[in-house]
Structure 1
Amino acid sequence: MSSGLGGLDRPGAPTSPGPWDERSEGWLTAESDAGERTADAQPGTPATPTSTPGTRPTPTRRTGADPVKALMHRHRDLCERAVDPLEIAAGLEAHGITDRTASRFLHRDVFSLAEEMYARAPRDAEAAPGAPPLTTPRARADWILLTLLPGALCAAAVTALHLTHGESRLIAAAAGALAVTLAVRAALARGPLATTDHRHPATARVSWLVAYALLGEGLLRAAASGGPDALPAGAAEGPWPLTTAPALALTLSCVPAAWCAHFLAVRARRKLSSSRALEEFATSAKPLLLGAFTLYLCALAALLALVTTALDQPATYPQTLTLGALLFLCRLLASHGFTHAPVLVLTAAASAEATALAALFAARLPGCAWLATPVQALVDTGGPAAIPTIACGTAALTLLLHATRTLTRASAHATRDQP
């Protein structure tokens, strides 16, 4: 297809390349750059002849109505820094240009439009070879080793908790929590789950959800049974028993989470290279996303079964799997640049758990017993695990629906690899 579209004739011309209407003509007139029209008009050029009654109007050429040139002017930075047509296609899709919109530019889809824009874009001949190419992500030894660190440190911390008592146990718990937190942050700083947003707006919400997985069940059971005084004084795990199996399984699952994210990135990049339409890519990317999500849940379930057997603790599949699914989807979305929805959903889940605990304790005030009725009904029906399961499960399902719309876009995967 010819790259220059400046020779489009007015309606009715025999050489018109296709159907034309007043809306298309008005849109192109508005999109055309005023500077381009001024540059094309040379001094001394005779005015366009006007038609007289009874004569056929002479077709005239519109020198400033190049639709692709007008689009390139609007996205000049994208065209100049792109190192691959796929990058331009992803950027156009992110700005709302679809395959249907591409037909206005006389192209069958966004990918062919991006190829023409890439071919026509001016570039610095010296800077272009040094730009990082749009390649398939590769596994690196640094992030592979870092993903093993949280699980190893958490296993050491759990072992220390079982071997210590009294004040030394409290010190071991604090040191272990700090070491695991730093290890998780280091593991998520590189690799397929890394994000360019270093503000960490969801750190407090994630910390609350993990803390609730450790202490929440014991605290909720104590509040529902009449308060902390109702617990036996000589319990082996202290006033509020620690449930360490979910935390250990979640930290060990950093390895399958990173590999599932890497699998999604690699396969999506290959699908993007072979797709020729945005809808085609979205259709092929959705099974990849659901497959990576399912693989992670299966790996987390296997790790939880292994951990509960080793620690001789009851299995907590519903609350742990829903929490793991929520955290995995949040990090997967954040690594692709979608941070707003994960923060909102994490806030809602953490607020639901905090509200349930607050309602049970507030019900002990005079005349406030009605506050605990909904929470008490849930606890009586499904046990203490019903609260985190419903909160995290609803949040994870919401994020999964959001991810099937955002992570199946070409713009979510056609980004340059970070050095």
Structure 2
Amino acid sequence: MYRDRLQPGLAAMNRQIALLLLLAALPLAGCGKMKEKIPFLKSKAAATPAPVVAAAPVATPRPKPAPAAPVRPAIDTNAQVVVLCYHRLEGKAGGGLSIEPALFEKQMEAIKEAGLAVISMQDFLAWRRGEKNIPPKSVLITIDDGYVSGFDVGVPILKKYGFPATFFIYTNFVNSGGKTMTWAQLKKLRDDGFEIGCHTVSHQDLRRKPSKWAGDYESYLKEELETSKKILEDKLGIRCVTIAYPFGLHNAAVHAAVEAAGYEAAFSTYGARLGHGVSPFTLGRYDVTAKMPGTQQVFDVAINFTGMAAPSDGPAMAQDAAVAMITEPMNNTATTDSTPLIKANLASFGEFDPGSVEMRVGSLGLVPAKFDAATQMIEYKVDKALREGSYSVIVTVKVGGQPREARWTFYYNTIGEVPEPAARVTPATKPVRKPGKK
């Protein structure tokens, strides 16, 4: 009986002990499972909400600022450039296209002593594009054809004075033996920092198709302009954007083909001072060779910047190519001959109407000048003595029915000197009378 009363108490104690054991095991068992198995823990867990973690604020992306446009430098559009053209540096052995090596060095020294800037072709083109400035008076040096004397003689002298230069090469001439450059020498020029331009494939007059050419005129131009460009670019790994016309001859059809072929500038052999706005396909050069009369005089006119200025693109009356500087008398020079022979080479006009050629001379008016279509020379011998003073010569032609003009000035006096510019005289001013008694 005592046992019967004791059993309910023992049962309750056992339940409490079991509960304590379960609670002690909570840290060792999964809390979630224990909460599920124990009713009062389950309800307590359900009653306690889980803490809510606030989401971190998301920053609004800011748009990246647009890159600033490159600032172009201020360009001196009044700067002028003269371009010198050489061929062979072999003296008499090189014939009419040659000058003495000693004379070439003397001329480079004269450029240095004159304080003139010799610029690269790339600087010249960048100036024309408005990307880079150049000194007010700059010089470009070019050497045509690809004679080895340019490499053997010209390069050491150019390096001595630190002058860049451009070599205009016609591709059929390379590696052809004799006194021609090789492709290896052209690569050396490239690696030494000299620039290489095109001089066509076969060095023929671009204005007309040769009789031996089987195709039409358009295919001939394409061959001479595009094939030569590609050969130079492929062989030398360069970008070729300049060309020199063979013999300096060109016309409107050639200009269009040159532009279509991807050239940026084209050069003739008729010297002029080049300004910023000159047509890119009629750029004149002073041809410094023995075949030209007064070779040193041509050079002097060039580096003294006293030659004619090539006209800028503009009205119809502006010529599209400068007349050769080998005029008699030359521009801005003086003569002691009171009845001088006045002449000029008109080839740089391209194709024009021979019957339209006229010459006018200041104070004389229209003169009966003679024009030789074969040599492209116009000349007039003054038949009455001139008075001392300055004389402007104006030559006009018609190209495609449109007038073109070139002009230059010379002086006549007994001492043969260009007069100094007259000093500007400021008129004396009368004293201002102050108001008051007379």
TM-score w.r.t. length of structure 2: 0.21
Greater relative CO (CA pairs within 8 A, separation 6+)? 1
Greater helix fraction, Structure 1 or Structure 2: 1
TM-score w.r.t. length of structure 1: 0.21
Which one has the largest radius of gyration? 2
Greater strand fraction, Structure 1 or Structure 2: 2
